[in-house]
Structure 1
Amino acid sequence: MDQRTPKPLPQGSSMQRAAAFSVHVFTALGAGVALLALMEAVREHWTAMFWWLGVALVIDGVDGPMARRLDVVGLQPNWSGEVLDLVVDFVTYVFVPAYAITASGMLWPLAAPVLGVGISVSGALYFADRRMKSDDNHFRGFPGLWNMAAFYLFLLHWPPAASSLAVAILIVLTFMPFHVVHPVRVARLRWLTLGLIGAGTVLAILTLIDDFEPGTAVTIALCAIGLYVVGSDSAIRLIRSLNA
């Protein structure tokens, strides 16, 4: 752990500084939610685990705008919201899903521990990569969205061989130079992306309510949305190169 010299307290009332610090507490609450999700995973209550991971997603989506509105960087300079966010994101996006994927019986028994370690290691490396985002705000490589990968594995009920292969491919894709759309920060087709993400959220909630038996139509729609998020930028770049 590196030791940094504390910065002097900035200008601002004690109430403003307390409000700013409360955003850090809110972000850190995601780590507590991750523990609750892990406890459900250990009990093999997979649907309950995903409900808690959904709560973590809401926290992750809300804390950034809150931090900017309350000027957390200026009022609490001794606390790194960026580091805190990465720590919480690792346990909610990578570590808890890695356990679920490994312990759920979806993978080959001999391959499961190896792939689980691969998820954890590749996810940790990805979160430390300063190139994780491109200049146009796309994610570079598979962006460690193992909570989403786990969701689709539970949804599709593939045989262990297919699930193991899919996980291995995603681990490799973590380090590949292709781009994945960021649902908010990528300007191109943002209206379409946000619309599909909203629809996918509703369908995911219905899937959890139905305990991962939502029916064929919902499953196909969710797969189409997932393919758009992961593959739309690569498809657009390919079309442009062919038309050049």
Structure 2
Amino acid sequence: MDSLKPDSDALATPAHRAAAFSVHVFTALGAGVALLAMLEAVREHWTAMFWWLGVALIIDGLDGPMARRLDVMTVQPHWSGDVLDLVVDFATYVFVPAYAITASGMLLPLAAPILGVGIAVTGALYFADRRMKSDDNHFRGFPGLWNIAAFYLFLLHPQPVLASLAVATLIALTFVPFHVIHPVRVVRLRRLTLSLMVVWAVLAIDVLARDFDVGVPITALLSAIGIYVVASDSAIRLLRSLKA
């Protein structure tokens, strides 16, 4: 793979450019996956929808390292990988989950369309916010992970009042300046975080394989990992402030 990375003093060869552009195509494939997830959501095949959103997560996790390895920004300067990534992420992280949350019947009927619009609008604003990440790679505010929020709603299946309040709270937290860890890029407790992400992925696959029919232990462990990701940085900062 290193041989495909062009020397900074030489023009990229056609092979270099083709390899680099293929990363953009791979990223854009996430948009097609979003459409497949949406088709399943419209049919109320919720588990199938989450399988496709899981595929989108895999694409999103792989395209960045591939782009850096092939120096895509230099080899294909006319194509913005950052913009492409945001477009695809909005579809898979926000828009399709917003539809699922709104149409699932889990929210209060009168609140559902309002909250669905709130998810779409605040998600779009968040993706346009240049401050969405801190200098130490934490997300600033609730990071628009509505695919994960939808997964937990389907897993926990709370009463409509509680589900509606939870969604409204996450919408509000989008613009609250607390920090949420990036599971890969945050250095602090990285080994623990990555280990928990592997556990989370295995359990999530098990949940989908069982069509969300899992027991309390799996539900509790998934919930604990979710709380760790969202609240661990705030807890650490609070403890440090108390010690000071």
Provide the rounded CA distance (Å) in 1 between the counterparts of 2:131 and 2:12. 35
Question: Structure 1, unaligned stretches of length 5 or more?
Answer: 1-9
What does the per-residue CA deviation read over 1:192-231, in whole Å, with 9 as the maximum and x for residues that have no partner?
0000011000000000011111111000000000000000
CA RMSD after TM alignment: 0.6
Q: Percent sequence identity over matched residues?
A: 77
2-structure distance, mates of 1:78, 1:12:
13
Cα deviation, residue 25, structure 1: 0.3
CA distance, structure 2, for counterparts of residue 191 and residue 199 of structure 1: 12
Tell me the equivalent position of 1:28.
28
| Distance in structure 1 (CA, Å) of the matches to 2:51 and 2:100 | 13
Q: Distance in 1 between matches of 2:212 and 2:159?
A: 16
3-state SS, counterpart of residue 183 of structure 1: coil
Tell me what 2:159 maps to.
159
Within 1, Cα distance between the matches of 2:50 and 2:82?
25
Q: Return the offset for 1:73.
A: 0.5
Matches within 5 A, 1:1-244: 11-244=11-244
The alignment covers a number of residue pairs equal to 235
- 1:97-154 deviation digits (Å, cap 9, x = unpaired): 0000000000001100000000000000000000000111100000000000000000
- What's the offset of the Cα at 1:240? 0.4
Structure 2 distance, partners of 1:115, 1:132, is: 22
Cα drift, residue 71 of structure 1: 1.1
CA deviations on 1:154-174 (whole Å, 9 max, x unpaired) are 000101100000000000000
Distance in 2 (alpha carbons) for counterparts of 1:135 and 1:25 = 29
TM-score (norm 1): 0.96
In 2, Cα distance between equivalents of 1:214 and 1:80: 42
Q: What is the alpha-carbon distance in structure 2 between the residues aligned to residue 86 and residue 201 of structure 1?
A: 23
Structure 1 runs of 4+ with >3 Å offset: none
Task: Supply the distance in 2 between the matched residues of 1:98 and 1:11 (Cα, whole angstroms).
Answer: 44
**Deviation at 1:42?**
0.2
TM-score, scaled relative to structure 2: 0.96
Distance between the aligned counterparts of 1:106 and 1:57, measured in 2?
24
